[in-house]
Amino acid sequence: MWNYGRGYQDDDIRAAFEVSLESGVTFIDTAEAYGRGRSERILGSLLPTAKAPVVVATKFMPLPWRWSKKSLISALRHSLERLKITSVDLYQIHWPWPPVPVETWADALADAVEQGLVKAVGVSNYDEAQMRRAYATLAKRGIPLASNQMEYHLLNRKWELNGLLQACQELSITFIAYSPLAQGALTGKYTPDKPMPGIRGRRYSRSFLEKTQPLIRQMREIGREHDGKSPSQVALNWCIGKGTVPIPGAKNVRQAQENAGALGWQLTETEAAALDELSAALVDTSARIVGD
Ligand SMILES: NC(=O)c1ccc[n+]([C@@H]2O[C@H](COP(=O)([O-])OP(=O)(O)OC[C@H]3O[C@@H](n4cnc5c(N)ncnc54)[C@H](OP(=O)(O)O)[C@@H]3O)[C@@H](O)[C@H]2O)c1
């Protein structure tokens, strides 16, 4: 999907990692599922070279043959081996997939904390009811649910509109916004004449990109008012303004540097409202959650 090994290589990743840390971006999110362990291995090779403390987040994938709490601890130990660390800062359940109930995995997360293998625990792709159940199970063990990682950006505001974001704020759960650049659709570099490559082009088709152009134009205009910020930087700053922590993917130094430039300034209320209005016509309210 991302053209790893062809469009960009390990050297590009190393350089992006280094410049991110230099720019103060020290939270790195990965998962055992990414490249079937490859992403964790790459991060594990980079961590010893880090010039600043890195906050590492990874994820457990509840695959159909994983039934018991023990399978989470075993998967976690494999993640730690690949990352070459003894405990992970944030361990997340990647998806609330059936048939194992939310409570079983939440209990397993609590076991991992008690065994000193993880410092904080989170979930991902959990709707409000699933998140509240995980929160309650952890609370019985005296452990906070630190985060819920969801797709969120100017083209998908379902979680803002259906109350999940507010529930996170109510329960002091950090809302981590994944794909905050809409997989590149909000960077402004993809247009109906230069469509998104590969599988991404199916979700963000030429005709959809056509519809996003007024929003992109407004993002450029707003960026100009802030010392020439790019659409990507405006898109990320908008996420931050909504109280979320966006985690953009970067394939090289230039992207990592640009994304770090989303920090240290703020859209005005009027600008954010203008973006809200333009995005309202485009937002994807169809994002599905797999029930448990
Ligand atoms: N929990 C989950 O289920 C889940 C699911 C998906 C992602 N995530 C997490 O979220 C992270 C980010 O999501 P994502 O990678 O899907 O989407 P994203 O951050 O919205 O988009 C990243 C892509 O946009 C392009 N890009 C990034 N910065 C750019 C810039 N400054 N200028 C121009 N192009 C730029 C790059 O691709 P091109 O250059 O090829 O366009 C890059 O790979 C992932 O790394 C992962 O940690 C989690």
pLDDT tens by residue, 232-243: 999 999 999 999
pLDDT tens, position by position, 198-216: 999 999 999 999 999 999 9
Ligand 1, pocket-test mutation among 186, 187, 216, 288, most atoms within 8 A of CB: 187
Structural domains of the chain, ranges and CATH numbers in brackets: 10-280 (3.20.20.100)
In angstroms, rounded to a whole number, what is the distance separating the alpha carbons of residues 194 and 255? Answer: 19
Residue-wise pLDDT tens digits, 115-135: 999 999 999 999 999 999 999
Inform me whether the pLDDT recorded for 197 exceeds 70.
Answer: yes
Which ligand 1 atom sits nearest the alpha carbon of residue 196? 41
Residue 45 vs residues 17, 36, 156, 237: alpha-carbon distances, Å: 11, 16, 34, 30
Nearest C-alpha to atom 45 of ligand 1 is from which residue?
A: 249
| Dist. CA 15–CA 17, nearest whole Å | 5
Q: Is the per-residue pLDDT at 54 higher than 80?
A: yes
How many angstroms is it from 250 CA to the middle of ligand 1?
6
Average pLDDT over residues 279-287: 70
CA distance 247 to 259: 9
Average pLDDT, the chain: 95
Q: What angle do CA 264, 161, 209 make, to 5 degrees?
A: 70
Whether residue 79 contacts residue 40, with contact meaning beta carbons closer than 8 Å, is answered with: yes
Tell me the H-state helices in 23-65: 38-46
Q: What is the pLDDT of residues 17-43, one digit of tens each?
A: 999 999 999 999 999 999 999 999 999
Please say if 34 is a catalytic residue. yes
- What is the mean predicted confidence (pLDDT) over 139-162? 97
Q: In the prediction, which pLDDT does 57 show?
A: 99
Number of alpha carbons in the 13 Å side-chain half-sphere of residue 103: 4
Contact residues of ligand 1, CB 6 A cut-off: 2, 29, 94, 124-125, 149, 178-184, 187, 189, 232, 247-251, 255, 258-259
Residue with CA nearest ligand 1 atom 21: 183
Q: How close is the Cα of 276 to the center of ligand 1, in Å?
A: 21
SS3 at position 167: helix
Span from the CA of 237 to the centroid of ligand 1 (angstroms): 15
Q: Is 124 left (phi over 0), alpha (psi -120 to 50) or beta?
A: beta
The Cα–Cα gap between 61 and 99 comes to 13
Tokens representing residue 264 in the block? 């240290």
288, pLDDT greater than 50? no
Per-residue confidence band for 282, with pLDDT thresholds at 50, 70 and 90: confident
Q: Which atom from ligand 1 is nearest to the alpha carbon of 150?
A: 1
Report pLDDT for 3.
86
* Token pair listed for 163: 């109350």
Q: Looking at ligand 1, which atom is closest to the CA of residue 153?
A: 20
Tell the residue number behind the tokens 């010039």, with chain if given: 51
Cα distance between residue 285 and residue 138, in whole Å: 29
pLDDT tier, 290 (very low <50, low <70, confident <90, very high otherwise): very low
Cα dihedral: 202, 206, 211, 216 (round 10): 100
In 3-state terms, the chain is what percent helix, strand and coil (to 5)? 45, 15, 40
Residue 291 predicted with pLDDT over 70:
no
pLDDT band for 6, please (50, 70, 90 cuts).
confident
- Convert 141-161 to b/e letters by CB count within 10 Å (16 or more is b): eebebbbbbbbbbbbbbbbbe
Q: Which of 95, 178, 200, 219 to mutate to test the pocket of ligand 1 (most atoms within 8 A of CB)?
A: 178
pLDDT score, position 241: 98
Q: In sequence order, what E strands does 53-195 have?
A: 55-60, 88-93, 118-124, 145-151, 174-178
Q: Does the pLDDT at position 287 exceed 90?
A: no
Determine the 3-state secondary structure of 246 from DSSP: strand
Distance from residue 161's CA to the centre of ligand 1 (Å): 23
**What percent of the chain lies above the pLDDT cut of 70?**
97
Asked if pLDDT for residue 1 goes beyond 90, the answer is no
Three-state DSSP class for 225? coil
Q: How far is the CA of 185 from the centre of ligand 1 (A)?
A: 10
Give residue 17 CA to ligand 1 midpoint distance, Å: 14
Residue whose Cα lies nearest atom 17 of ligand 1: it is 179
